[in-house]
Amino acid sequence: MASIHLQPPRRASATANMPGDKSISHRALMLAAVARGLSTVAKLNEGTDVAATLDALALLGVPIEKRDGSLAVTGVDAFDDPAGPIDCRNSGTTMRLLTGLLAGRADAHLDGDVSLRRRPMERVAAPLRAMGADVTTSAGGTPPLEIRRVAGALRGVTAVPAPASAQVKSALLFAGLFADDDTVVIELVPTRDHTERLLSAMGADIASDGPRIRVRRSTLRAFDRLEVPGDFSAAFFFLAAALVRPGASVVIRDLGVNPSRIAAIDVVRAMGGDIRIRDERIAYGEPVATVEGRGGDRLRGVEIPATLVPNLIDEIPALCALGAAADGDLIVKGAADLRNKESDRIATTVALIEAFDGHAEATGDGIVVRGGRALRPPAAVSTGGDHRIGMSAAILAAASGSGLRIDDADCVATSFPGFEAAWNTAFA
Ligand code: S3P
């Protein structure tokens, strides 16, 4: 298994390019696959998670071609039944969203790697069954999943996903595109709304009213050329690395700044950090901007309100790394679902901080990071198979002014192929 070698940070001002947003990439491919006509997607995330979605769609008979650095996807009226299993690899988004897209309309067996095989799938299977779909999980409610065609259309239901989840919401809205009656998702806490924005841009009959999102059977229009914005979650590791080094700055252009994704910026500002957003514009319904992070005085820990958790869920390991480099306590509550990510991120985040001689404690539904300690880099850390833990280690290394070897690092390419080169080019 490969290792990543990060060099000590030396450069004061950096610019960095980010991979395409992973969440938007999955949604763009899946919705293009069922739209009328040919859609072109540029700057798609090239990680292995999105590759799992591409391979799955190819197995389902969706024509996809490479054209001048972008992908051309021709929508289909009906899916082929794949001969063998669909391998969703490490990608929860592939498995959950695809289950919604296929529900009732294909015979498919969905499986994944050891990490994905541990993740809860009943949260998506149960509401789809209530819509009339035939979706079975394995014992324990985990993958593999069996999806069977059903006669006639699904019927809309009203669902209240708990915990609030953009993946479950998206799967139900996808299924609702082919269902009779209204499909309504009520969110306990707002989650990322990329699906709603893309569905509106493609002409779906969808409406949001506060926490209530309603979709009806719709024929989607293909999009001419969707340019996927840069991934904010990937960028946050770079922004954080500048924030922990006084006098450092990093500028990232063409970054997605959807308000339902960037609550980590509010937390950083509350910690006394300096992140600036400029040149904001809208591209295919999504806000895109230039974002700059600047290092200054030491940050201070804050309590992250539980209502913000879904809007910074993927940034929590990185925020905890910032907390370890700050003074005072950083407190995360209402985030028990972190235990169900690519790793048990409550445990792996605590272990990572302790590996740098920081101090953190797992709580029932979150993490308390005790700041104010001198961080000392170990000779090497392991990702434990979780890309975001590996990239959070890079922030701790930057805060200690050192380089770092990150082992078991193949997983970093699930979301950020080329991370090592991007990091060393930006900071070394
Ligand atoms: C995602 C939603 C979140 C997030 C994941 C991507 C999405 O998961 O953690 O990385 O693209 O919808 P949940 O919806 O399970 O919280």
Residue nearest to atom 10 of ligand 1 (CA): 314
- Residue 179 pLDDT: 98
User: 289: exposed, middle or buried (C-beta count within 10 Å: 0-12, 13-18, 19+)?
Assistant: buried
- Residue 398 pLDDT: 98
- Choice from 96, 124, 313, 388 to test ligand 1 binding pocket (greatest atom count within 8 A of CB): 313
- Mean pLDDT per block of 10 residues along the chain (428 residues) reads 95 96 98 98 98 98 94 98 96 98 98 97 98 97 98 97 97 98 97 98 97 98 96 98 97 98 98 98 94 97 96 98 98 97 98 98 98 96 97 98 97 98 97
Question: Strand, helix or coil at 220?
Answer: coil
pLDDT (tens digit per residue) in 302-341: 999 999 999 999 999 999 999 999 999 999 999 999 999 9
Q: Is 272 left (phi over 0), alpha (psi -120 to 50) or beta?
A: left
Of the candidates 218, 283, 170, which has an alpha carbon nearest to the alpha carbon of residue 35?
218
> What percent of the chain is predicted at pLDDT more than 90?
98
Residues within a 6 A CB radius of ligand 1: 23, 93, 165-167, 170, 192, 313-314
> What percent of the chain is predicted at pLDDT more than 70?
100
Residues forming the active site: 314
Eight-state DSSP code of residue 20:
B
Give the C-alpha separation, 171 to 147, whole Å. 14
- Residue 94 pLDDT: 98
Q: How many residues does the chain have?
A: 428
Of the candidates 366, 369, 330, which has an alpha carbon nearest to the alpha carbon of residue 353?
369
Residue nearest to atom 11 of ligand 1 (CA): 23
- Residue 1 pLDDT: 76
Ligand 1 atom closest to Cα of 192?
Answer: 12
Distance 93 CA to ligand 1 centre (A): 7
Q: Are 293 and 318 in contact (CB under 8 A)?
A: no
Q: Which residue has the tokens 């998702």?
A: 185
- Residue 284 pLDDT: 84
